[in-house]
Amino acid sequence: MITLKFGGTSMANAQRMISAMHIMESRLNEQRISVVVSAVAGVSNLLQESITGAIASTNITPFIIKIIQIHHEICTDIEKQIPSFMIKNVQEKLQTHFDEYEKLLRAVATFGECPLSIYCRIMGIGELLSSIIIEQLLLAKQKKVILLDSRQFIFTSGNQSEGDPLYEKTDLHFIPYRDDQSKAKFDLLLFPGFICSWVSPDESVHMGLLGRNGSDFSAAIIASALNAQKLEIWSDVDGIFSADPRIVKDAILIEKMTYEEAMELSFFGSKVLHPKTLSPLIAKNIETWSLNSHNIQAKGTLIGKGPFETQGHHVCGISCLKDTAMISVLGSGLKGKKGIAARIFSAVSRAGISILLITQSSSEYTISFCVLQKQANHCKDALINEFDLEIKTGIILPIAIEENTAIVSIVGDGMKAKRGVAGRFFNALASSDINLLAIAQGSSERSISCVIKGNDGDVAVRSAHQFFFNTNQI
């Protein structure tokens, strides 16, 4: 069994879907496969916009028409090329979801709000729609495909729209479909990505999601639960590059990287992989490939246990996480006083906010950390609440937020053994006149991150890339 994941970029139109189908066919000649698909490119964003629009009581009909149109156009284009594609069957199945979408969106518009459970149901429609088209495409090619509803297999807890898998419960549902089990006769298991079932604290089960761009995570969970030998993540780039190729034109393709390097890069903003993807794969040492469905000849990037040769570079990648904010807690109350840091972090965690990076000044006078910009005010409120008394008495100063920051990180297993890497990074940023707001090193010594102003993000990445990879960006 191998698992293949096709992102939105591989589901963008009829041609891309047909190419994806050919890739599935070629793998299927060799072994059983499980396939995870994302929504058609742009659909998740459109669904998100439609929710925002409905809350603001803008006319929702254009959104519904657009969603229907995108999918119908793909179906008619496929039918032109593959006459055995049963368009009527597909359209009937799609219609059920269009109706559901309209019903939910009207409710949001009527009430002017979108509770999380409705949000999950609307956002998950994109994957339900695309998987129906792919199923029919495979049936048209006489493949023995079974479309399985991921909500009956993947269970999460925690945040409903960004859940943490309940691995034991999830595994139990997948076991019958493993190679040596009763349902191994199904050669091609197809799953919509992103969606799952969420088990609430009162044990009731609702539709949940795995976080934006969560299909990579779905694929990792499925590969792990099915004991797959390999996971292939098909996207629109030749693999993982030393930096986002959209920002750095001559970024270098990385042949091999360790799970930890990939994890760090994705955590710090490389969109090519969803940050939580790696942990289920590490646990079972599942060989993972980042591949290009628009260029199947490209070798791709292997992500594995390593250690791998560094291709002469101690840094394997540079990433940038935008739309963050830096929050600082400062005041004489912090110095030498036990437990303040613990109180800060537990208050933030109770508010359901994840911390991206932490630094402390050597005088112990300030603790700064970064969170997503959209959570910054909520985070500030949580801290004001926690330190109400200390702020009133002046031993802690009013909580400061530096809005719209970016975190630029250099990542590489080889950094540990090489001196002067940090210095070179800071020089790179200084040479472009970029002001450093804070610096942090990952405890694994596998990454160094700098917090800078959001607008400087792209320049910082290009400048660091030039210093570490000798390319001519500036």
Question: Contact residues for ligand ADP (CB under 6 A)?
Answer: 7-10, 38, 213, 235-237, 240-241, 243-246, 270-272, 317
Q: Which of Mg ion, ligand ADP, none has residue 50 at its interface (CB below 5 to 8 Å by kind)? A: none
Can you tell me which residue has the tokens 């210093």?
467
What Å distances lie between residue 85 and 34, 80, 128, 141, 436, CA to CA?
A: 21, 9, 18, 8, 57
* Cα(198)–Cα(209) distance, integer angstroms: 8
Nearer to ligand ADP by Cβ, of 8 and 275: the residue is 8
Residues forming the site for Mg ion (CB under 5 A): 7, 213
Closest to 154 (Cα-Cα) out of 116, 183, 194: 194
Which DSSP category does 413 fall into?
Answer: G
Cβ-closest residue to Mg ion? 213
Nearer to ligand ADP by Cβ, of 38 and 405: the residue is 38
Closest to 194 (Cα-Cα) out of 37, 79, 328, 351: 37
Structure tokens at 436: 């450093």
> CB of residue 254 vs ligand ADP: minimum separation in angstroms?
8
Q: Which of Mg ion, ligand ADP, none has residue 440 at its interface (CB below 5 to 8 Å by kind)? A: none
Structure tokens at 26: 């070629």
> CB of residue 6 vs ligand ADP: minimum separation in angstroms?
7
Residue 113: other Cβ atoms inside 10 A: 10
SS3 83: coil
* Cα(18)–Cα(78) distance, integer angstroms: 8
Q: Which of Mg ion, ligand ADP, none has residue 246 at its interface (CB below 5 to 8 Å by kind)? A: ligand ADP
Nearer to ligand ADP by Cβ, of 175 and 253: the residue is 253
Nearer to ligand ADP by Cβ, of 294 and 424: the residue is 294
Nearer to Mg ion by Cβ, of 122 and 219: the residue is 219
Cβ-closest residue to ligand ADP? 7
> CB of residue 45 vs ligand ADP: minimum separation in angstroms?
11
Q: Which of Mg ion, ligand ADP, none has residue 317 at its interface (CB below 5 to 8 Å by kind)? A: ligand ADP
Q: Which of ligand ADP, Mg ion, none has residue 237 at its interface (CB below 5 to 8 Å by kind)? A: ligand ADP
> CB of residue 139 vs ligand ADP: minimum separation in angstroms?
24
**In sequence order, what are the beta bridge partners of 450?**
408, 439
* Cα(261)–Cα(413) distance, integer angstroms: 7
Q: Which residues contact 152 (CB under 8 A, 6 or more apart)?
A: 173, 197
Radius of gyration of the chain (CA): 24
Q: Which of Mg ion, ligand ADP, none has residue 244 at its interface (CB below 5 to 8 Å by kind)? A: ligand ADP
* Cα(121)–Cα(128) distance, integer angstroms: 10
Which DSSP category does 193 fall into?
Answer: S
Express the helix, strand and coil content of the chain in percent, nearest 5 each.
45, 20, 35
Which DSSP string corresponds to 351-401?
Answer: TT----EEEE-TTSSEEEEEEEGGGHHHHHHHHHHHTHHHHHHTSSPPPEE
> CB of residue 234 vs Mg ion: minimum separation in angstroms?
10
Nearer to Mg ion by Cβ, of 90 and 273: the residue is 273
Nearer to Mg ion by Cβ, of 193 and 414: the residue is 193
Nearer to ligand ADP by Cβ, of 270 and 375: the residue is 270
Q: Which of ligand ADP, Mg ion, none has residue 245 at its interface (CB below 5 to 8 Å by kind)? A: ligand ADP
> CB of residue 100 vs ligand ADP: minimum separation in angstroms?
24
> CB of residue 121 vs ligand ADP: minimum separation in angstroms?
22
> CB of residue 332 vs ligand ADP: minimum separation in angstroms?
42
How would you classify the pairing of strands 2-6 and 33-37? parallel
Q: Which of Mg ion, ligand ADP, none has residue 241 at its interface (CB below 5 to 8 Å by kind)? A: ligand ADP
